[in-house]
Amino acid sequence: MSIASMTGFAREAGVTGSSQWAWEIKTVNGRGLEVRARAPIGLDIVGEDARGQILKALTRGQGQLNLSVTKTAATPKVRVNGDVLKSLISAIADLELPASVKPASLDGLLNVRGVVEVEDEGTEPGQDAALQADLKAAVSRLIEGLKAARLTEGRALKGILEQHLEIIARLTDEADAAPARQPEAVRTRLAAQIDQILGASATLDRERLHQEAVLIAARADIREELDRLRAHIETARGLLTEGGPVGRRLDFLAQEFGREANTLCAKANDVSISRIGLELKTVIEQFREQVQNVE
């Protein structure tokens, strides 16, 4: 199973009768799962039903679902009310008109209110059963398109995260192999520090100083941090291979990476190890930022 990003977009559009419609859904990263729906008046129920299906299909992310419906221009039906026209003609025929008044023409009679009736066969979107059926059928395709987009983004994310883990592993090995960590280097450095202190004051107990130096060296050892970093690397690689909704667990590991890197920098007793620790912190922060997009 692959990992999925929380970022994605999908669109489904079609025509039903005189209605053109389109579903659009976009999602971004979020700590939990939240989807908002917007639909035309009369289609609120259809929008809420689609929102419910999307909530069941995803585990994390913030989404915005939009439904738009527009009516295409339809040719209205024109009907002449024959009864009204006949009644009007009959009424005019019974009138005695002055010579200066011309008889009524057909176009004049047709302009009389009620003679010509225009029928608009359009229906409200919420009352169109065929439209609602098509909209509901399109939701499943919309969800599949969104999931495919999030998986495509997830594959790219996986590659980036694996690269970060490779760098973290390399830097961990460099810190482990640093010359300053070798026993002889530690012994030489501590001996020089003790000689410097003794040179400043002849009253100090050399044996006691050696004991304190051993304790300081033990507390400054970064072996535990290196071991935990390697363990976290293997766990993160396993989660990327496992796939699925692993974003929260990767986020927790990113925090653990950060703690170990901070401790390593605090314990560093050599410039080279400090440099490696700072590089580790930079890469770990980049890893953490990318993890925020994993579902």
40 Cβ contact partners less than 8 Å away, ≥ 6 residues apart: 67, 68, 69, 125
> By 3-state DSSP, what share of the chain in percent is helix, strand and coil, each rounded to 5?
60, 15, 25
Which alpha helices (H) appear in 82-128, and where do they start and end?
Answer: 82-93, 106-110
Give the range among 22-26, 71-75, 180-184, 231-235 with minimum mean pLDDT.
180-184
User: Is the predicted pLDDT of residue 205 greater than 70, yes or no?
Assistant: no
pLDDT at 228: 95
**pTM for the whole structure:** 0.72
- Span 274-285, mean pLDDT? 96
168 Cβ contact partners less than 8 Å away, ≥ 6 residues apart: 229, 233, 257, 280, 283, 284, 287
For residues 244 and 242, give the distance between their C-alpha atoms in angstroms, rounded to a whole number.
7
Ranges of beta strands (E only) in the chain are 8-16, 19-28, 33-38, 61-71, 77-80, 116-119
pLDDT at 128: 85
Per residue in 37-84, pLDDT (tens digit) is: 999 998 999 999 999 999 999 999 999 999 999 987 655 677 788 887
What stretch(es) of the chain map to CATH 3.30.230? 8-73+126-150
Q: What mean pLDDT is reported for the chain?
A: 85
Candidates 3.30.230, 3.40.50, 1.10.10, 3.90.930; CATH matching 8-73+126-150:
3.30.230
Are 223 and 177 in contact by the 8 Å Cβ rule? The answer is: no
For residues 11 and 86, give the distance between their C-alpha atoms in angstroms, rounded to a whole number.
55
134 Cβ contact partners less than 8 Å away, ≥ 6 residues apart: 14, 16, 21
